[in-house]
Amino acid sequence: MCVFFAFLYASEAPKIHKMRELNHQEIRVLKESQTTQQGSADKKPQKIIRGSTHLQESQGKSPYEGMDNRPKDTTRQIQEEYVQNQSWLYGTSVITTIFLDGSIKRSYGILLRDGIFLTSANMVYSEEIYARASYAMMQDDSSIPFVCVAQLSIKALDLQRGLAILETSAYTDTYCNPRPKSYYHDRLYSKYWIDVFDNVLTPQGVVYSPTISELNSFMSKRTIVENEDLNKLTMLETNDFKGYKYSYGKGFYTRDGKLIGILASDLNGGPKFVQADDIAHFMCELQDKKILQKDYLTPLCANLKEHQHSES
């Protein structure tokens, strides 16, 4: 039996190379980067906490805590070499959840339609400690480092499946402060959401997934799946987040960018692979229970049920 929870909680000098002229957005990102470096110059170094399957003690309250600093001697041309041209990279997020005791959990997430996010349930929920806030950090093809874009709240949890749905409770600036929705937000949310109903029908021997570069940007990683057994993906350990053994919330994709599934958690907190078809059923169950009310789900869920009946 699936257990659902539906609730909301309140938020609380580089080396210069001759290149083409920077556009307005690139200049803005550069200025913000310089401001961040200057503002943090006098701060004492903090212990790196880049996510964990267990709660870790931390006094920091910034979603950026524990993320590696970007190399200073880099150019946009060098940065672009890290980023492959797959649009699903821009539908990927790093979700940072800060709990009331100051501890942090960090995982991958996937942007779905209408500003909702999908991730692994164990990374945004704890039976013992309430989450204070979650933040999504993303990038698009106009800026390389991912930046804070939204504050999130939990919409639904299915601990049996190991999945969590979060919704956007506020748009943010790059420092995670609330701000009105901008063109940047609108472009991300309308252009790069991932379709979980576009099912992959054939077995996959090669899959693609995001990983994090030294520049705090997403890049594509190719993985060969032994005997086309997707459950073997749960055995892949990661160094994406220090102190974090598995890539919870990470999506895996086909060569042409279709979602195959994500790495979620079982009831014991261990890794399990949840295929896109099961994610689609999860969303349709939420719609049936009126927890997730989205008009676009009505025809999609009807088609899913019809297809399911035709196979039975």
pLDDT, tens digit, 9 for 90 and up, residues 150-175 = 999 999 999 999 999 999 999 999 99
Asked whether residue 155 falls in the same domain as residue 236, the answer is no
Convert the pLDDT of each residue in 289-311 to its tens digit.
Answer: 999 999 999 999 999 888 776 66
Does residue 28 sit in the same domain as residue 109?
yes
Which of 7-16, 23-32, 247-256 is predicted most confidently?
A: 247-256
Domain boundary among 126, 159, 191: 191
- What does the pLDDT look like over 48-76, one tens digit per residue? 333 333 333 444 456 666 565 444 444 44
Q: In this structure, are 173 and 79 located in the same domain?
A: yes
pTM for the complete prediction? 0.74
Same domain? 125 vs 228:
no
214 and 186 inside one domain: no
Q: In what order do the strands lie in the sheet with 271-275?
A: 218-224, 206-212, 251-253, 259-265, 271-275
Residue 170 sits in the same domain as residue 294: no
Structural domain ending residue among the three candidates 191, 222, 237: 191
Count the domains in the chain: 2
Establish if 196 belongs to a structural domain. Answer: no
In a domain, 297, yes or no: yes
Mean pLDDT of 8-29: 46
Same structural domain for residues 255 and 287? yes
Report yes or no on 197 lying in a domain: no
159 and 256 together in one domain: no
Half-sphere exposure of 53 (CA within 13 A, CB side): 17
Asked whether residue 262 is domain-assigned, the answer is: yes
Sign of the dihedral through C-alpha 16, 19, 23, 29: negative
Does some domain include residue 242?
Answer: yes
* 30 and 170 part of one domain: yes
Whether 233 and 120 map to the same domain: the answer is no
Neighbours of 87 (CB within 10 A): 12
In a domain, 69, yes or no: yes
Q: Rank 7-11, 271-275, 308-312 by mean pLDDT and report only the highest.
A: 271-275
Residue 198 included in any domain: no
Q: Please return the burial class of 236, using the count of CB atoms within 10 Å of its CB with bins 0-12, 13-18 and 19+.
A: middle
Q: Which residue, 144, 159, 191, sits at the end of a domain? A: 191
Grouping H, G, I as helix, E, B as strand and the rest as coil, residue 217 is coil
pLDDT digits (tens, 9 = 90+) for 171-199: 999 999 999 999 999 999 999 999 999 87
Domain extent at residue 153: 4-191
Are residues 183 and 83 part of one domain?
A: yes
- Could you tell me the CA-to-CA distances from 310 to 200, 280, 299 in Å, in that order? 18, 17, 16
CA-based R_g, the chain, Å: 19
Contacts of residue 105, defined as CB under 8 A and 6 or more positions apart, other chains included, come to 51, 52, 55, 96, 97, 99, 123, 124
pLDDT at 231: 81
In a domain, 25, yes or no: yes
The CATH number assigned to the domain holding 154 equals 2.40.10.10
- 258, 229: one domain: yes
